[in-house]
Structure formats: structure tokens, C-alpha cells
Chains A and B, each alone.
Chain A
Amino acid sequence: MARAGVFICHCGSNIASVIDVEQVAKSAEQMTGVVYAATNKYACSISGQEMMKQAIIDHQLDRLVIASCTPRMHETTFRKMLGKTSVNPYMLEVANIREQCSWVHTDKEKATAKAIDLVRMSLAKVLKNQPLFTSSIPVCKKCLVIGGGIAGIQAALDIADGGYEVTLVEREPSLGGKMVMLDKTFPTLDCSACISTPKMAEVGAHPRIKLMSSCEVSAVSGYIGNFEVTIKQNPRYVDHDICTGCGLCEEKCPTKLKSSFDQGLGQRKAIYKLFPQAVPAKPVIDAQHCTKLTKDKCGVCAKVCPLGCINFADQESYTTDTFGAIILATGYQLIDWGSHYPEYGGGAYADVISGLQFERLVNASGPTEGKIKRPSDGAQPKSVAIIKCVGSRDVAKAHGYCSRACCMYAAKHAHQTIEKIAGAQVYIFYIDVRTPGKAYEEFYDRTREDGAVYIRGRVSKIYEENGKLICKGEDTLIGKQVTVEVDLVVLETAMEPAANSGQTAALAGVSADKDGWLTEAHPKLRPVETQSAGVFLCGTAQGPKDIPDTVAQASAAAAKVLGLLAKDELETSPMISAVDTSKCSGCRFCEQVCPVKAISMIDIPSIYNGQKVKRTVAQVNSGLCSGCGACSAACRTGCIDLLGFTNKQILEEVDALWQ
């Protein structure tokens, strides 16, 4: 026979001023299964907890209903209290009579009646509660960082400096991401490569960081503390263990291609380093364009290599490793604006370029050695139009969101143009100027002072006439159409999630929003965690942001990982799904709805018509299950129960409402 205790909290006057708590206690005492009911001024206080502990001893209670604030507030407090008593911490129900009763009602009589109903419902549920026990899982003290841009670099360094092993996986042949392509960073105008390459070198030399370039994550299984990750090494055709990075092969290679690092404005060879300061500082072969690999001709690199590093038979290979935590830092790419904006020439005009192309033009180590030259004829542009929000804030053509960094780098591009080209005229077409950052507004002020003409309005069309690019817009501040004739147009194009970032995140059980940005667990209070425990995110993979925000978020993710790896064991919540295999039909519907991929199928021996057969049933991974209950709701045979919230418990609770 159950021996339930009911405690009604006054919460000072928060509850007691509206609800007659004594009346609730009196009614509760009459309910079946209740052996003791009492009220307390503050149930959560030390004295309140002592009073309940004493009642448990005095009345040999085996379960509790506490009618107080929302369980989100103090359920954990009360569970901890029960941990020090003979009652199992999960033999507790919290009836919310504050947020959902006293705070929202004024009629005392009706509120009291409602509180009694809520207590009766919680009592009905607690009478069906079963003791639950937490278990613990060991933590593998290693972290996987996916993405070697500034976010991944920062996170990897912070974790490795904290004393833990890190594996950094980068798809490209070198670390660096987008930041290393940039010329200067706003608003301080310090050299981007100068501040990012030392960090890259630090990663390359760090004793606790294993750098895996030209690699991709191909499979993730397991759960927090114990992820099994398979990493694919794409063929490099160069043995990096022997190669010293002398560069002879690159010098002699006869195949010249457009450099992706220079955004198509410069050239590279078929065997190449991404850029001079690449980490690792060793070349790889572009298999698509190498004539030896495509047509079995040439092979010059192998002939000139003094160490015999070239291996044309290189194959992709796979390695599997265990990690305690994963950080997703997969970054962004720029929108392919040409396919979205035929009105801007759709890519037909060589002198209509993207902001990243401008970065390469103005960069001292870029294809023009820092001289701003028009791609079409190499002439120095005397007038430049900068157009913001190309692909951003454009629901019809591209993306509805603001890409956040463009206002500032547009100002930077204007400043750089005026600085490098004497007498240059710069027009910036904008919808709004957004400068929310330290010293950002001042930078915008300075750019206007430099002489950049800001024109409020989106450009409607760009066309060529007499060797000039004509931009047609409106100055909405005067309400008149305006036209400018310029030599170069720079489009500040939208950021979008890096190709395949969604697929990589999905491997780790992390979802993406409608635009493809990875979803954090809570937009404000859990910004670097995900719904998948043990998987964190940072940088532009989560949403458009600038370098300072990216680095801050990367360090935040690293701090979370350090907190996790510092533990030897993790306690898991016992409130997870359980399958009654005798009823499971193996329909796999639960497997599809599970957001954290905790459900898999197994074959179990069974007897059918007197014969031994195998039957497929669902199985829950206790490390992965987050206790969301989606499977339980979806299960057609009702064989999945969420422990602590079983179907039986919930139905009893509902039934109690009508008693």
C-alpha cells in the first residue's frame, strides 16, 4: 500500500494570497493513498526541506507530491533532498500551483478548487511512479573539432591548452578557412593573415593536436563521452610523412589552373599548396586536373621530387577513433550570386566581383600583390560602387536573413579603395547600415569622412555602356532615381552554410534551421550546445557572424568541452524511453522520429507457431536518449514508454481530473 505525503507550499504570499493552502492540505488528506498532508511557508528553504525529511521518517512516506512552483524551478532541489532520505528521488511529483494557478487567477475560491484538482492529478500519477536509478558512463577525454577555420582553430587550441587531446579535421588541404583569405580585419585594420597564420602554425606544432587535412567525417555513432567517429582521408597523392615542402614539384608542374583560394583571380598549379603559409606546408595534387591522373601523361612532379613523395596510386582511407565531445565549426561559403541576380549581369561582367574577390585583389599576397586592378583589363579603377545585401535580406531571390558582417567590410572596402587609389570615388548602396560592435560605428563615421558616398537604396540593375558599369538605384532619402557610372562593382554577397555542413551535422544528430544554419540548444542560454548531448557548435556554422564573435563563440564551446572532459564519468538521466519488446512490431516508426538517433533495430529470438524465429524490435541507446518522448507518442502499438512519464501514469493523471 502506497504511503504518499502531500506538501503545499505558501511561497510566501505568491501562492497563499490567492489559494487557501490549508484547505488544499485538508482536501489532500482525504485522498486515497495519502497518509500525511501539510503546508509550509517555503518548501524549497532549508527548514522546509528539513520539515519534509522529518515527515518522511515520522509517517514512513514512500512517495511525495509537492504543490509549489513549476517543476522547472525546484524539481531538482527536491530530488536532491530525497536523495538523502529513504525515498527514491523519482518517487516525486511537483504540482505547479504557482505559475499555472495562483499567478494567473484572481478568484480565490476557484483557484483553490483548481489547486486541489492539480494536487489530485499529481497524486494519481505519483501512485504509479516506479523508483528509477541513474547510471554512469565513462568519458573519453578527447575532442573532435570539425572545421579548420578560425573557429575550429581557436576551439582546438583552447582545449589542447587545457590539457586534452584534440583531433582537428579540415576538408581543404590547409587550415585557415576564410579568415586567412582576407586582407585586413575591421575595425582595427590589422592584417588578417598576420594574426591568423601564427595560430595556424600553433595548431600544426601543438603536441596535443592531431591535424587531419584533406579529411572529412563520414560516420558518427555512440553518445556523449563516447562518440565513435569514422574519418575519411581523401587522397593527397603526396606522402606528407616524407615531404619537406620544398616546392620543387609545384614549380615544375606545367598545368595552370584558376586558384580557388584567390577566388578565381589568380593561378595555381595542379600540384599545389593552398597558399604560401599553408598548414600543413605541403602540397597536394588536384586529381581532377592533374594530367598524369587524368590522361596518364606528364608525371613531372614525381621526376623532380628529391624524396620520392609523389604517389599517384594514393587511395582514400578511413580511420576510426573515439571522442568524448565533438565541436562543429564547419563555417560558411558565399552565395553563388550570379545564378540569383541576372539584373547584376549574372556573372557576365568581369568587373562585377564579390567582396571576397576584392579581398584577394587588395591583399598584398594576392594575385595583384595588393594593387586594386580591374579583372577585365588590369586597369586601376577610378570609381567603385559597393552594393550591400546581395543575397541577404532578399526573401524572393535568396535569403531572408542579414549576413551581419557585410556592413562593416563594405565600409572597410570603401576605406581601402580610397586609401590605395588617390581621388577614387566610392559609392556604397545600402538598405541599412548595421554597426553593432565595439568601435564599429566609429569606423563607419570614418569611412564617410574619407569621402565614401553612402546611397540608401538597393541597386536595381547593372549594365555596361562605353566601358563603364552603370548602376541604377534610388536615393530613398530624397526619393529620386540616381545613376552612377563606375569602373568596378563590388557585391557584398550573403553568407550561407558551407556545402555539406548540414549532412556533417546530421551525422552527429544536430539539426539545421530553414536556412541551413546549425541549431543551438537555446538561442540565449545554451548558445554553443546542441540538442545532441556532447556535440557543440561555434562560428558561422551556427549563423552569420564576424571574426570577434566567431572567436568568442569558439572559446565558449571549448570551455563547455573542457567542463565535460574534466569529468571521469557522466551521470545519465533515468527518464528515458524503454521498449516492451513483447509488443513491439518492429515498424521502425520510432527510429524515424527520434531526433537524436537513439533508437536502432535488433533481431531477437522468438517463437512463432511453435517454431524458433527471429523478430526485429526497437532498442534504445541509454547514452543517446534525451527523454523527449517523441517515440512514445509515435509508437503504434504503445510499446514504448518514457520512464517517469509512462502512458499509464499520464492517463491516471488525466482521469484524476474528472474524479
Chain B
Amino acid sequence: MVGKNLSLLPDENKQKIESLVKKAGAKLSDCYQCGKCSAGCPMAESMDLMPRQVLRYLQLGLLQEALSSQAPWICATCQTCSARCPHDVPIAEIMEAIRRQADQMGIRPLRRTYLFSKYFLLPLKLFGRNHELTLTMFYNLTSGKLFQHFTYLPAMLKSRKLKIWPAKVKNRLAVRKIMENCEKEAQNI
């Protein structure tokens, strides 16, 4: 048998796609593959699949292909696609839903992008406000690129683009609480 046999896909695929799409608040049948999302995407050039194609794989029930695509991880969530879609498909939200699903299933098509997104909000949780140096430390340590961008450090410190110590926030525990609630909420959707 050549090609994808659409009749032999496991039912589990369909359920997973349905719940994934539901989380994004989308309806897959709305997409008629016009390609406007891909046409306006600022990151599309770096993607292995066009955003339109990611949706197409979901429409066909080919979950594995959609989850192992790099495109959702390259997506900058700029929302251009969602804003311009003629059928109001929330494409950026679908990309986010795919990232979550892939994360749950341990699918990491781009390891470092995954790590970056994993630690991106960590300083917020720790200090109540973002702290770039902490984020860089975690990312560089886990990604194995220990001294990446190290040479930028003096200039950035000098021009106060980076701060050595995190900013002091009055009620950092309240921020942490908000974030934890958000995470819990996201789990429940």
C-alpha cells in the first residue's frame, strides 16, 4: 500500500484531534485551505510545513504528522493568521494546542525551542516579573550551549538591557498564584 491510508487511521487519533481543536476553540471544517494564514505568516519561511498544511493534516486525521511538525514550535503566536482568516479559524490557538499536546506526548521536534518555551515564564513564577538573565541561565544550562550569546553580556549590561538582579515585586506570591491558576485552568479545558 502506497501513501496514507485514511481508512485505517486509529479512532484514538480522531478523538485526540477533536479535543485538541476544541481546546483551541476552533472548528476544523471551517478551514477551506485558502492559504491566507501561510501567506501572511512572518515565520513561515523557517517552517517545515505551512500553517495551512498543519491544519490540513488535522483535517485528514493525520495527528502524528501534525504533532511532529516543527511549525507549531516556530510559530511566534503573533496572531496574524487568526486575524486575517476569512473563516475565523483561530490558527494561532491551534498551534498552541498542538504544542501542548505534543508536550504531553513527549514529542519534541525542536528540542531547544521546547526548552526555551518551557523556561520562558519561569522567572515570572519565581520573581513576579520577567528576568532575562535567569531565563538565559536556565536555557543555556539545559540546552548545552553554555556560553551562547555570552559576548553580548557586557554591552547589554552596560546599556541596562539586562539586569543582574531581578526586579523586586511587592506581592510576588500573588503573581505565582495567578500563574498556577492559569496552568490549572489550561489543564482542565
Interface residues, chain A, CB within 8 Å of chain B?
383, 425, 427, 433, 445, 448-449, 451, 453, 455-456, 468, 472, 474-475, 477-478, 480-486
Contacts and interface: CB of A to CB of B under 8 A. Distances in A.
Interface string B4-41: 11111000000000000000000101101100000000
Chain A contact surface mostly:
strand
Nearest to A474: B3
B159 to A, nearest CB: 46
Given A482-B3, A483-B2, 7 more contacts: A445-B29, A451-B29, A453-B6, A477-B52, A482-B5, A484-B7, A486-B7
Contacts of B29: 445, 448-449, 451
A260 B57 CA distance: 43
B33 A485 contact: no
Contact of B59 (A453, A472, A480): A453
Nearest to A447: B29
A485 B9 CA distance: 11
Nearest to A446: B29
A478 B33 CA distance: 10
Contact of A485 (B3, B8, B27): B8
A482 B1 CA distance: 10
Contacts of A485: 5, 7-8
B5 A477 contact: no
A481 B6 CA distance: 10
Contact of A472 (B2, B27, B30, B32): B2
B4 A482 contact: yes
A449 B31 CA distance: 10
Contacts of B1: 483
27 contacts: A433-B32, A445-B29, A445-B32, A448-B29, A448-B30, A449-B30, A451-B29, A453-B6, A455-B6, A455-B60, A456-B33, A474-B3, A475-B60, A477-B33, A477-B56, A478-B53, A482-B3, A482-B5, A483-B1, A483-B2, A483-B3, A483-B4, A484-B6, A485-B5, A485-B7, A485-B8, A486-B7
Nearest to A485: B7
Nearest to A449: B29
Contact of A483 (B7, B53, B59): B7
A639 B4 CA distance: 73
B2 A478 contact: no
A550 to B, nearest CB: 28
Given A448-B29, A449-B27, A472-B2, A478 B60 contact: yes
Nearest to B87: A445
Given A449-B29, A477-B33, A478-B53, A484 B5 contact: yes
Contacts, number: 59
Contacts of B59: 453
Contacts of A451: 29
B2 A480 contact: no
Chain B contact surface mostly:
helix
Nearest to B55: A477
A480 B7 contact: no
A433 B34 CA distance: 12
Nearest to A433: B32
A486 B8 CA distance: 11
B6 A483 contact: yes
Q: Which 5 A-B pairs have the closest CB atoms?
A: A481-B3, A485-B7, A448-B29, A483-B5, A449-B29
Nearest to B1: A483
A485 B3 CA distance: 13
Given A483-B3, A483-B6, A483-B7, A478 B27 contact: no
Given A448-B32, A453-B59, A480 B52 contact: no
A399 B51 CA distance: 36
Centre residue among A383, A478, A483 by max chain B CB count within 10 A: A478
Contacts of B33: 456, 477
Contacts of A445: 29-30, 32
B5 A480 contact: no
Contacts of A468: 7
Contacts of B5: 482-485
A481 B4 contact: yes
B7 A475 contact: no
B38 to A, nearest CB: 11
A449 B33 CA distance: 14
A491 to B, nearest CB: 19
A451 B18 CA distance: 12
A545 B7 CA distance: 34
Contact of B6 (A433, A449, A456, A482): A482
A520 to B, nearest CB: 34
Given A477-B53, A477-B56, A427 B6 contact: yes
Centre residue among B6, B52, B57 by max chain A CB count within 10 A: B6
Contacts of B6: 427, 453, 455, 482-484
Given A481-B2, A483-B2, A383 B7 contact: yes
